[in-house]
Structure 1
């Protein structure tokens, strides 16, 4: 036994299982003999110690890294024996027999140190060799649109701003809960066995260092595989918005996958390896994952501090919702220990993104109020501002819950005024602000209508724009925001514009088709009366041709409104023309150049009315006599 132990360590030359001799040989001879059973236990312990020391020495870390061979995972019998040896030595050192001298104890402790170095190498090799990077393509196949009924979100409207979940970067719910294999299951078991021995033997720092270094690098690599690119604040704030939109979509995709898939699975791995050591797990996880989360959050902060403009609102809201939904997971992942700082950082960034969204919403309100273009839209068509505002409202109606939360503290004079006028309607903050925006738009459009010199065109412009607003307000999400009262009120206002337009534009034409001053007795008339009839037909033709020529170039792009106007005008003009024609055209049969006066049949009049509002210059092809 002495020979074996001395070959392991020169200090083993003093090895003995009995206490060192402090007296004479006589004292030794006078000591009572050990019972047979005690001798048996000592022999077993000596044998186990010898085998453990031999095995540890055999797998001592070589000085040259190139000469290293490894126990795991290809030597299952050896690996089991090695761990048993470590366990034996640990117990031997922790609870030494009274008969063990300090030299033997030191040797066992030295062997444990050698074993810990070996386990550290094994841990590092296993993690470097068997770690599995994620496959971003397999994740992307299951991300994006949740199958919600958003197919053609624009409803055929080219001005639509709606986007699907895929276009927003949102991740499918199934992906958010998926498990990924960061290591093969059998390797995870080995990692846990090694970590348990290292931590319990006081090598927690070394075990932690290896684990953190490996998982930190793996997490950064996986984020890069997903497309994450580290951008400085300056990079973000100087990037053109078109490019930044794509970066934001990518960021949303990455942060949802990072938090709900990568980090959640990393935390599970950490628990599997380190067992019930909760504080250690929290600290290790925060140490290797905190840096990546901070890098992701820094992008959000850079976006939040960038210059405000209305077109950025929806991407800010997408970011806010994605981070808000991820925050509960972040709180759970970084529940205690050093992870608390990461939770606080994420909450602060969420608040800054929310503040940026509120500033952007205010910028949109100001833009509606202050848009002062002085060029009238050709043909009285729908103004670009109207399309922009209504589609903007349509888009932010998809974020009602989020905006209601963000805007709940708005207490400016305009919102108070809207609230007083909507008393009892229980409208949320966004509803009140939307009604205020619509009011601002109406005032702006009323100002722009004054750019038209023709009163009829002014009314057509107001009708076109209000009809567009009412139509957009009937979309389900927008309707919830503004309510049926607004739609009913403005539908009535639209009818008023319609009636006023018809009266302003066509009353003069209609005035030439009355029989006032025309006297026909016994089927005959005098020359003065005939001349009056000729004058009426001539004036009608002139007025009708002028209005057709003018209003054919006017624009009513909505087919329903266009048809309603044409039907209304036809109903106003055609019966009167038929009646006038039936009563008086026969008195012009003998008149020279009759076709100069009776130029159009009722069918032709109707055709010309139906050609109005096409946006093309009207031409009056005279009917051949």
Structure 2
């Protein structure tokens, strides 16, 4: 009985265990039912996917390894592609984190290089598996044809322009942002440079420091490194030239350089733009020593890693676009203007400005990139030397030509006399003599001739000697001796006064100067004796005996003699009122000499004999002047006549030495 109970208990436990197993099996079947349902739903699509493959199971098993070899590199390419687009989120704003931006950009470039290098390999592997499928007839022809068409499209894209856009254009966009940052750094740190106040004599001009901070230059160089690696050097140079040349133009525009655009047809001679020529020298020095010097240094700082040719070419384009060519063209325009003696001085001024900047020109504009500026500069210097020498050697001929002109009717100093005396002093002064010597030496060297300083002095002495001959010739052109004396007195005094104490006067010598002073004294005496000196004889006292019975006779004689004096005085005063003595000192001395010759005699005469006619009804007819009125009239003589605008109305002989308005037909 005990055994039976044990069996029952064992059976019970077994049944209980089987029930639990049945429950578990039921749950598993229930779960499997849902999975089978999903599989049942997916089977139609799987059937469609595997439908092209009709090979036997053995063939499909063999192709598996080949498929894995093709899919693995393709999957790697896809992973890199995903990584590239992941880098897009890491690209910060280069303005605020340039180093971080450059770091991410470099990683992007490396990823793209990997992508570009491996795309071809992946396509090749895929091509191999398609070829295997086709050869072993693993799939039907339509499926194989579709795969081949897809591979052909991939190969075409990989070999064409789209190869560089495997990232969807991300790198190009990132480089554009970096390029814009390059422009921004330049623009925001570029400020026009004002022209500094002129330096004191002997003081060296201050060379402008680098126009960009070191930190900015370092950023520009870092940006250039990445842009150059991506073949964008030319774009960077174009941006740099645009910004920097625009800045130099802005600096120059503040100086009002419109005169640089003047053409030959817009002015008659150099004198009309003399002020512009003086400005040109100062502005050119500022442009070269400050603006272009700074740009030269900056180009070197920014592009030094690119090589000498790159940064010098960059600087040459900035200089040309910013206005250097306009400066040289203005100088050329001056050389093309009408020949005029004053033009010689202006050509020497321009030559002096260029000579002063010669070392700067050679350093800044030397080399092949600045060939255009070099050629224009050489041409300008050649024109300056040729033009200046041509005018200088023709001066003597021009002075001699003036001899044919009539003397000035007002007995004043012909312009050629004042011009040559002042001109010669300037030519051998400290300002022009070294420049003229340099020009003449160069001109003679072109002709394989040697030039010595004495040749210059001899030529100037010939000019003065020719002036002396002109004076002698002109003095003989007056019909009357009196204006001839006054003319020679005027001119000999001018030569003496304006050359005494000057360097040119020292060259002529004291003897020459004393001779002209003596000529002045001689002709002054002759002028006074032959004109005003004859009037006192008309106030003769002969026959004037004041006694009873002779008073009427004396009155008549006084009337006759006063009338004759008045008529002679009026005629002479009218004639001499047209004469001019420009020098104030000589004019006052001459007037005083006339007064001392006439007024004391007239005063004494009127004091003694004036009462005889003053009581007469027609007294004003004879006692026409007082001593005081005569003195006042004499002091009003010989003053230069005022022309319009308050200028002195001085006669100028025709010819090369005339002002432009008086000599429109001068030969160029």
Short-chain TM bin: 0.5 to 0.7
CA 1:501–1:322: 2 relative to 1, 3 Å: same
Q: CA deviation at 1:264?
A: 0.9
Residue 354 of structure 2 corresponds to residue 323 of structure 1: yes
- Residues 499-538 of structure 1 show CA distances to partners (whole Å, capped at 9, x for unaligned) of 23223323433555788xx6999x99999x9899868777
Residue 434 of structure 2 corresponds to residue 405 of structure 1: no
Does the 8 Å CA contact 2:413/2:491 hold for their aligned counterparts? Answer: yes
Q: CA deviation at 1:189?
A: 1.4
1:494 pairs with 520, 529, 533, which one? 520
Alpha-carbon distance between aligned partners in 2 of 1:267 and 1:591, rounded to the nearest angstrom: 95
Residue number in structure 2 paired with 1:155: none
1:461 pairs with 487, 494, 498, which one? 487
Alpha-carbon distance between aligned partners in 2 of 1:295 and 1:545, rounded to the nearest angstrom: 63
Residue 102 of structure 2 corresponds to residue 72 of structure 1: no
Alpha-carbon distance between aligned partners in 2 of 1:438 and 1:491, rounded to the nearest angstrom: 16
2:386 pairs with 335, 340, 355, which one? 355
Q: CA deviation at 1:352?
A: 2.1
Q: CA deviation at 1:564?
A: 0.5
Aligned length: 498
| 1:193-272 matched pairs, under 5 angstroms | 193-195=222-224, 206-207=232-233, 209-222=234-247, 224-225=249-250, 226-227=252-253, 236-241=263-268, 252=281, 254-272=283-301
Q: By percentage of residues, which structure has more helix?
A: 2
Structure 2 stretches lacking a partner, 5+ long: 1-69, 112-120, 122-163, 445-450, 642-668
Residue 180 of structure 2 corresponds to residue 125 of structure 1: yes
| 1:50-65 matched pairs, under 5 angstroms | 58=87
Does the 8 Å CA contact 1:279/1:337 hold for their aligned counterparts? Answer: no
Structure 1 stretches lacking a partner, 5+ long: 1-5, 16-49, 61-68, 90-102, 104-109, 149-171, 412-418, 420-425, 617-625
Residue number in structure 2 paired with 1:564: 589
Residue 572 of structure 2 corresponds to residue 550 of structure 1: no
Does the 8 Å CA contact 2:533/2:598 hold for their aligned counterparts? Answer: no
Q: CA deviation at 1:457?
A: 1.6
Alpha-carbon distance between aligned partners in 2 of 1:493 and 1:542, rounded to the nearest angstrom: 32
| 1:13-412 matched pairs, under 5 angstroms | 58=87, 72-79=94-101, 81=103, 121=176, 124-132=179-187, 139-140=194-195, 142=196, 174=205, 177-179=207-209, 181=211, 183=212, 185-195=214-224, 206-207=232-233, 209-222=234-247, 224-225=249-250, 226-227=252-253, 236-241=263-268, 252=281, 254-275=283-304, 279-280=308-309, 283-285=312-314, 287-289=316-318, 291-292=320-321, 293-294=324-325, 296-336=327-367, 338-339=369-370, 342-343=373-374, 345-362=376-393, 366-371=397-402, 377-389=408-420, 398-408=431-441
Alpha-carbon distance between aligned partners in 2 of 1:410 and 1:504, rounded to the nearest angstrom: 53
CA 1:344–1:504: 2 relative to 1, 3 Å: same
Alpha-carbon distance between aligned partners in 2 of 1:602 and 1:437, rounded to the nearest angstrom: 46
Does the 8 Å CA contact 2:313/2:369 hold for their aligned counterparts? Answer: no
Does the 8 Å CA contact 2:389/2:439 hold for their aligned counterparts? Answer: yes
Provide the secondary structure at the position in 1 that maps to 2:579. Answer: coil
Does the 8 Å CA contact 1:282/1:339 hold for their aligned counterparts? Answer: no
- Residues 139-164 of structure 1 show CA distances to partners (whole Å, capped at 9, x for unaligned) of 25x35x6577xxxxxxxxxxxxxxxx
- Residues 54-82 of structure 1 show CA distances to partners (whole Å, capped at 9, x for unaligned) of 7899369xxxxxxxx87533214504635
How much is the aligned-residue C-alpha RMSD, in angstroms? 5.7
Alpha-carbon distance between aligned partners in 2 of 1:319 and 1:11, rounded to the nearest angstrom: 75
Does the 8 Å CA contact 2:425/2:502 hold for their aligned counterparts? Answer: no
Residue number in structure 2 paired with 1:154: none
Q: CA deviation at 1:482?
A: 6.8
Alpha-carbon distance between aligned partners in 2 of 1:13 and 1:615, rounded to the nearest angstrom: 101
Does the 8 Å CA contact 2:365/2:373 hold for their aligned counterparts? Answer: yes
Does the 8 Å CA contact 1:382/1:461 hold for their aligned counterparts? Answer: yes
Q: CA deviation at 1:568?
A: 2.0
Q: CA deviation at 1:358?
A: 2.8
Residue number in structure 2 paired with 1:610: 635
Alpha-carbon distance between aligned partners in 2 of 1:229 and 1:221, rounded to the nearest angstrom: 17
Does the 8 Å CA contact 1:394/1:472 hold for their aligned counterparts? Answer: no
CA 1:335–1:601: 2 relative to 1, 3 Å: closer
Provide the secondary structure at the position in 2 that maps to 1:257. Answer: helix
CA 1:487–1:379: 2 relative to 1, 3 Å: same
Q: CA deviation at 1:333?
A: 1.7
Q: CA deviation at 1:402?
A: 1.9
Q: CA deviation at 1:458?
A: 2.1
Q: CA deviation at 1:178?
A: 3.0
Calculate the TM-score normalised by the size of structure 2.
0.57
Alpha-carbon distance between aligned partners in 1 of 2:339 and 2:92, rounded to the nearest angstrom: 58
Alpha-carbon distance between aligned partners in 1 of 2:404 and 2:475, rounded to the nearest angstrom: 12
Q: CA deviation at 1:287?
A: 4.5
Q: CA deviation at 1:406?
A: 1.8
Does the 8 Å CA contact 1:381/1:556 hold for their aligned counterparts? Answer: yes
Provide the secondary structure at the position in 2 that maps to 1:139. Answer: coil
CA 1:380–1:275: 2 relative to 1, 3 Å: same
- Residues 316-336 of structure 1 show CA distances to partners (whole Å, capped at 9, x for unaligned) of 333322222222112122455
Alpha-carbon distance between aligned partners in 2 of 1:250 and 1:540, rounded to the nearest angstrom: 60
Does the 8 Å CA contact 2:412/2:580 hold for their aligned counterparts? Answer: yes
Does the 8 Å CA contact 2:563/2:622 hold for their aligned counterparts? Answer: yes
Does the 8 Å CA contact 1:70/1:122 hold for their aligned counterparts? Answer: no
Does the 8 Å CA contact 1:196/1:274 hold for their aligned counterparts? Answer: no
- Residues 307-352 of structure 1 show CA distances to partners (whole Å, capped at 9, x for unaligned) of 4334544443333222222221121224556457754652442232
Provide the secondary structure at the position in 1 that maps to 2:531. Answer: helix
CA 1:428–1:192: 2 relative to 1, 3 Å: farther
CA 1:574–1:344: 2 relative to 1, 3 Å: same
Q: CA deviation at 1:260?
A: 1.7
